[in-house]
Amino acid sequence: MAASQIGTELVPKYVGLLAQIAEFLLVTGAAYLLGTYVVRPAVGWVFDRRELEPTLERTVEKLIGVGTVVGALVVGAWAAGFTGFLGGSALIVAALTLAVGFAAQDVLSNFVAGVFIVQDRNFNIDDWIEWNGNAGFIDDIGFRVTRVRTFDNETITVPNTEIATNAVTNRMSNDTLRISTTFGIGYGDDIDETTRILLDAAADHDDIVADPEPSVRVAGLADTAIDLQARFWIADPDREEFSVTRSEYIRTVTERCRAAGIDLSTTSQHAITGDLRVEDADGA
């Protein structure tokens, strides 16, 4: 066959292929722009109207982003006539899925764990959590990892499986937070008067709720002190409010005890301490 004849046959084929590729790129780009600037803002508008949790909203936005890219590629291939590619894609996807299943089991495990975390109402963006000696605020829940911002403004990248398979304390999952603070007084000091000071200091603080009522109990007897534990509650708790409220309460108690002649300085190993618990309003 003459070279001129071969060229005559190949040129239309290459021109047709280039036309298909151009159509594929044009349609794919148009579909991507449609999804990015129409579909995603529309979904965001719906989320704003329904006031969904930020965690769920952010996750769905990520899924829509991935779906936009995949959908644009499929639409572009279909419009350009690459039906053979679409027909064989099922086998390709099945083979890739099997390969990924063996080679990336940890990734898939983290993905599944992320799905369970997202649907759990006790885990939301900006929640204050503690686990395995770590603590911080949830910044983002991704498909593979959860990012937690510490109180020193550092970021911990935590595999989702670690969050899903370990005991995690969420300090903000309930409406109220109980703060327990222990004060040591001398054996010669008046327990009833100190109890009154502790209760009055709680009653006078604007951020400490009256229901449940603050309480004071004798927590223990040390070598040089009687330990009194004050318990009170704050509403809509967060880390900053807890720290500020506890600090202001301790300052008020210290000043009033000093004015009343009650000695808080005798407690070397039983110095002023504090802990916290998150419970329902009826918690013990």
Strand partners, 212: none
User: Is residue 147 classed exposed, middle or buried when 0-12, 13-18 and 19+ CB atoms within 10 A define those classes?
Assistant: middle
Maximum average pLDDT range among 81-85, 111-115, 129-133: 129-133
- Calculate what percentage of the chain has a pLDDT beyond 70: 62
The per-residue pLDDT of the chain, averaged, comes to 75
pLDDT for the residue numbered 58: 63
What does the domain layout of the chain look like in residue ranges? Answer: 3-103, 122-170, 176-279
Q: pLDDT digits over 185-218, tens only?
A: 988 899 999 999 999 999 999 889 998 899 999 9
CATH placement of domain 122-170: 2.30.30.60
Indicate the pLDDT class of residue 30, thresholds 50, 70 and 90: confident
CATH placement of domain 176-279: 3.30.70.100
pLDDT for the residue numbered 192: 94
**Which residue carries 């603050």 as its tokens?**
214
Strand partners, 141: 146
Indicate the pLDDT class of residue 268, thresholds 50, 70 and 90: very low
In terms of pLDDT, which residue wins out, 57 or 5?
57
Angle at 201 between CA 197 and CA 204, to 5 degrees: 135
Q: pLDDT digits over 144-165, tens only?
A: 889 999 888 899 999 988 888 8
Q: pLDDT digits over 218-233, tens only?
A: 988 888 889 999 999 9
Identical fold for domains 122-170 and 176-279, yes or no, is no
DSSP per position, the chain: --HHHHHHHHHHHHHHHHHHHHHHHHHHHHHHHHIIIIIHHHHHHHHHHHT--HHHHHHHHHHHHHHHHHHHHHHHHHHHT-HHHHHHHHHHHHHHHHHHHHH-HHHHHHHHHHHHHHH-TT--TT-EEEETTEEEEEEEE-SSEEEEE-TTS-EEEEEHHHHHHS--EETTSSSEEEEEEEEEE-TTS-HHHHHHHHHHHHHT-TTB-SSSPPEEEEEEE-SS-EEEEEEEEEES--HHHHHHHHHHHHHHHHHHHHHTT---TT-SSS-SEEEEEEE-TT--
**By C-alpha distance, which of 162, 133, 132, 135 is closest to 146?**
162
